[in-house]
Every structure is written in C-alpha cells, then in structure tokens.
Chain A
Amino acid sequence: MMKTRYGYRPSRRRFLAGVGATAAAGLTLPKFGWAAEEPKLNFYNWDTYIGETTLDDFKKASGIEVKMDLFADNDELFAKLKEGNPGYDLIVPTNDYVERMISEDMLVEIDHSKISNLANIEDVFMKAVFDPGRRYSLPYMWGTIGIGYRKSALANPPTSWRSLYDSDEFSGRIALLADSGVVIGIGLKYLGYSFNDADPAHIKEVEALLIRQKGHIKTFAEDNGQDLLASGEVDLTMEWNGDILQVMDEDDDIGYSVPEEGGLLWEDTLAIPTGAPHPENAHRFIDYILDAQVGASIAEFIYYATPNKAAKQYLPADYLENPAIFPPPETVEKSETAIYLGEERQRLIDEAWTRINAA
C-alpha cells in the first residue's frame, strides 16, 4: 500500500531556507515543555489578516519571534499540510477545513488550561458544530458571504439571491465567486434547500439554474470580485464580506448585504497542525490573540467580525454597528456554516461545476 505521506519535504523551499535547519531539528525534538522550545513560532496565515503591530508586540511581551508565511486559500493550506507539516506551528483554517483536518489527524488538541483568555470568547462560538467542544480550534474571526453592490446602479439594495441566480435584470453586470462549493451551496439555499444538501437531484437543479443564468453572469471571479466592483466592471458581486469592506472603505457608493435567504457563515480559526515544532509557543500566541485589547486591535485593523466579546468594549461604534461586519441577527440566524460532507459530494459538486463552465 502506497500512501501520499512520503519522507520528502514539499515545495516550501523559500520557507525552509528561511527557517533553516533549526525548524528541521525542532521537528525531531522531544517535548520538554516551554524551557526546551526556542523562542520562535512559524505562523501560516492569510494575507493582511493580523494586526499591524501584533507580531512585534507579541515578541516584546514574550520574547518569541513570529515568522509569518502567507497562503491564498484553504486548498493551498490543506495541500501544503497533507504531505506532512513542513514546520508550521499555527495555522488559520476555515471551519470546514478544520473538520477535514481533524478527521485526518492533521491537528493537535489545544490544551484549554493554557488559554487563560478562553472566557473572552462568545458562547455561541464555543458550541461550533464542526469542532465539538473546540478541542482542536479556537475562533479567530468570522463573517459572511453576501452581495457587494454599487448603490447608484441599483434602485434598491438586493434582498434576494434571485438578482444573481435567477434574473436578467442585471445581465452582464454580475460576478459570482469562482468557488464551486460556495456557488452551488448558495444556489441550494436560493432553491430552499440547505447549503449542505447532498442530494444529487438538488445539486442537478442548481446546475440547471446556473447554466440558464450563465449568459447574464460576466465572470466567476477568482477572489477579486471586490476589484471588479470597484473598477465598475460589475454592479453586483458575490463576495466575502471582508473583501467588500475593504473597497467600501475607499468608495462610498459600494454597499453590502446578506440576502433574506441567508448566506454562508464562515469562521476562521486558530489551530496547531500535527508535527508543529513549537506547540507551547503556539498556545501562548493563541492566548495572546484572545486577549481583549489585542483582539480589539487586530479586529479594528483587519475589519472582520471578532468572536471576542471582551474586545468589543475597546472597539468603536462604526465597527460594531457596521451591517457588513455584523449583519442583522435574523439574517445570521438563517445563514449556514459549510460542513464537510465527504469525498462523494465533493466529486458531485466538482462535476457539476465542470459542466456549468463547459456549457
């Protein structure tokens, strides 16, 4: 039996060169506790997803130097770690990938006794379906997928996914995400099913719906829907709220709303991958991030919704009352989190997506 877990190191050559032999040695060091760990931490994070001075402040507070590498999406993160951890101590996977990684023993348990700021987290996040008891992950930021739109081009803000999925009203002025799981999942929601519906007949319905609608859709955007919106290429785009927020900051004519059917709720988490060379340092950094003031400074800088209830007292009203950060509770109520539903569904979704693109 041949497995894909080989001894060779995957392609993060640049990273390995930077960290050097120390990380490689760290991999094989037995765990002696804090004292044995060199003051280093290899953090694998999304781009522009940490406070401006968080890493420096942490170094001042703890003496631990954080080296941050960036990944572009969860697929990249997953692909990089599935061949064996190349030396990362702390990663930021999204909820459904946390689930996958738990099932493949790619994460180590977080020792809650070492996280003194655990009580700062809002209760609802401690009851996550994708990680019961939050044994493997703690919440970092959360948000939604909704519709970013140009206010002046629309009479009213969009209230339904119909504008994107089932209407020629905005023909040629629409972009959807180039993410098969999200586009088909939201399609399922629009048709009244669950985002996580696995019934092939229902997925087929979404496929037919999108093939019908395709002529009105300008493009499936590679995570640059906000640029298409900002440059006037499209007037409506399905996007992550954080991306739209960034362009809202520069352009008052851009708005964001989560349609009445509800959107996709996502949660990015802090997790420690199996084989992490510095797990103790990772615990300390997680605890540091969950501190009320640190959490507030990160949230204010990157402008995503924080799950840290203690941080809110340090945050300004325009952040707390921004509907693109915190959508109305009834919309959040109807939104769903993506659950990993097995390889069979994954294949159904990919084949449907291939057919939609080929049609």
Chain B
Amino acid sequence: MHRSTSFWTFFLPPSLWLALFFLAPLALVFGFSFAEKRGLIDIVITGTLDNYLRALDPLYLRIFVKSFWFAGLTTLICLIMAFPIALIIAFSSAKWKPILLLLVILPFWTNLLIRTYALIAVLRTRGYVNFSAEWLWEKANAGLNLLGLGDYQLLGERFVPFELLYNNTAVVFGLVYVHLPFMVLPLYAALDRMDRSYIEASLDLGAGQLRTFFSVVMPLALPGIISGIIITFIPALGSFLTPDLLGGTDSQMIANVIERQFKSANDWPFGAALSFILMYITFFALAVRALADKGNRGSGSTPA
C-alpha cells in the first residue's frame, strides 16, 4: 500500500504531463490526418486516406527527397566537423573541459531566430564576410599596384561580393551551424567514456594514428555516432525557419509546406498527414536501430 502511494506521487505528475501535453495533442493531429475539411473551420474525422494519397503526389515526394538530402548532408558535415571537436574536448585537461563544453552549448542560450538573423548579417552582400573579403581585395590590389602590376587588373576591375545567402548552400550552412552541438555532445559523451588503454594498446602494437582512429576509436564511439546522427538528422529534417530565412526561391523543405498547410493554405488535415509521414519515417528508422542493437547484443560481438 505504502509503496504504491509513493510510486504514484512520483510518477503521476510526469505521466499526466506526458499524456496532457504530448500524447493528447499528438493523437489529435493523428486524427486530423484522417480527416476532411468542411468549410473554413470545421474538420471532420472520417477515416479518409485522401490526405495520405495526396502526399504521394510526385510533387510532395520530390520535396521529401530534397529535405532528406538537405538533412542528410547536414548530418554528414556535422559528423565530420564534430568528431575532431569532441576528441579535443574529451582529451583536454579537467580545467579546459567545462570551458570547451560551455562554448559548444553557449549558442543554445540565444533564440534560434536571433541566431539566424545574426547569420544573415554575417553572410549578406554587405555583411561581415564580404566586408573582410573586400578589405583583403583592396590590400592585395594596393600591393599589386606597388609592384607595378596595377594596370593588368589581375583581381578584376572591382570587388565582386560573394553570393553567400539565398541559395541551397546557405540553407545547409545554416542547418550545420544550428545542429552542430547536437552532434558534438553525444560524440563527446561516447569518447569521454572510452577506455584510453585501447588506444595505447593499438599504438603500442604498431598501428598508426589513422589506423588506430578508424579501427579502434570509431568503433568504440559507434553508439555516440548513431545517437548523434539521430538527434541531428531528425530536427534538421523538420526545419522550416532556416530555409525560409536563408534559402532562395528553390530551397523549400517539407516543413515549409507543412507550415503553410496550418497557416495560409488552411488545410490542417493535409498538414497533419504530411507531419505524420515524417513521424512514421522517423519511427521506422528508430525501430531499425533498435533491432540492429538487439542483433549486436545477441551475437555478443561488442560487450558494453
């Protein structure tokens, strides 16, 4: 009796929270995805599959593919960039570790919208990158003039600013910038837990630095890599602010389409279906991962 009371005091609030603010809204949106619009406001759940069928139109499938491509590329770049960062943090002294970790987490203290606008100020035609480039261009040109090569205009007649914004590269750049910490943190956690003696053994036994990295460090960090990929890829896939603000006229991602269904297009059922397709894909990926984990544990190849 006593035990069950204390169980409920501990687990009722979070369960209620979960049910009220996570499961209930999710169930609602799930219901909407099988609904029909009646007029402007009324939505009737009829069990129709029309919204899902509409989402299978090649138009939307292409946007799904494009979003996967953006998110995948973002994840890959994050992984390549985050690995050295995580290694440095994991191998730095106890004094530096918290400082370096703080630097990784620091951007989270600023709102995403503000960080994106800051990025615009850095990258735009009259932004800091182009100002610096122009300054270098002027100095280089002055140098050439000094050498008597000024008349040849080797660097072009005038400075041409880089087009850094409003294209797909800018979107991926922005996504990498936003999601990098999501990759660094799980990698760091995995590398920090790693038994260093494996690395020493590998080096002692004659493996080179690269060989040690790919044959020892990488496999040991694999759980961190997989977690990092998952928690980077999923939010990147659902981004809409970054393509909206940094993208050009062909940077639309699926979340932009979803956002419009809930706003200007006022088609909640279709927007709900598109969101749930993203959810199904995510769950499927997580299930595959869980199965793979089970398989590994079953074969006993990598004892934890």
Query: Which positions in A face B, CB cutoff 8 Å?
Result: 1-5, 73, 75-76, 78-79, 82, 100, 103-104, 172, 178-181, 214, 217-220, 222, 231-233, 343, 346-347, 349-351, 353-359
Contacts and interface: CB of A to CB of B under 8 A. Distances in A.
Given A2-B31, A79-B263, A346-B266, A231 B42 contact: no
A351 B260 CA distance: 11
Contacts of A359: 250
B301 interface: no
Contacts, number: 99
A5 B41 contact: yes
B125 A4 contact: no
Contacts of B260: 180, 350, 353-354
Interface of B: 31, 35, 37, 39-45, 59-60, 62-63, 66, 124-126, 163, 165-166, 244-245, 247-250, 252, 256-257, 260-268
A214 B59 contact: no
B126 A346 contact: no
Contacts of B39: 104, 343
B45 A181 contact: no
Given A4-B268, A358-B250, A76 B40 contact: no
B42 A219 contact: no
Given A180-B264, A217-B249, A358 B63 contact: yes
20 contacts: A1-B44, A2-B31, A2-B45, A3-B41, A75-B264, A79-B262, A82-B40, A103-B40, A180-B264, A218-B248, A219-B165, A219-B249, A232-B125, A343-B39, A346-B265, A351-B59, A354-B252, A357-B250, A358-B62, A359-B250
Contact of A222 (B35, B59, B245, B268): B245
Contacts of B264: 75, 179-181, 346, 350
A82 B41 contact: yes
A162 B6 CA distance: 72
A350 B37 CA distance: 16
Contact of B257 (A217, A219, A354): A354
A104 B40 CA distance: 7
B125 to A, nearest CB: 5
A349 B266 CA distance: 12
Interface centre among B37, B40, B44, B62 (most CB of A within 10 A): B40
B63 A354 contact: yes
Contacts of B59: 351, 354-355, 358
B126 A214 contact: no
Contacts of B247: 219
Given A350-B267, A354-B63, A219 B248 contact: yes
Contacts of A343: 37, 39-40, 266-267
Contacts of A179: 264
Contacts of B63: 354, 358
Nearest to B246: A219
A161 B135 CA distance: 37
Contacts of B252: 354, 357-358
Contacts of A358: 59, 62-63, 66, 250, 252
Given A2-B43, A178-B244, A358-B252, A76 B263 contact: yes
B65 to A, nearest CB: 11
A347 B40 contact: no
Interface centre among A104, A181, A220 (most CB of B within 10 A): A220
B125 A233 contact: yes
Contact of B165 (A232, A233, A351): A233
Contacts of A103: 40
B266 A232 contact: no
A350 B44 contact: no
7 interchain residue pairs of minimum CB distance: A350-B265, A75-B263, A357-B252, A219-B166, A214-B249, A232-B126, A4-B43
B249 A347 contact: no
B31 A357 contact: no
Contacts of A78: 266
A180 B260 CA distance: 10
B126 A4 contact: no
B257 A4 contact: no
B250 A3 contact: no
A189 B40 CA distance: 26
A214 B248 CA distance: 9
Contacts of A346: 264-267
A327 B234 CA distance: 49
A99 B226 CA distance: 52
A173 to B, nearest CB: 10
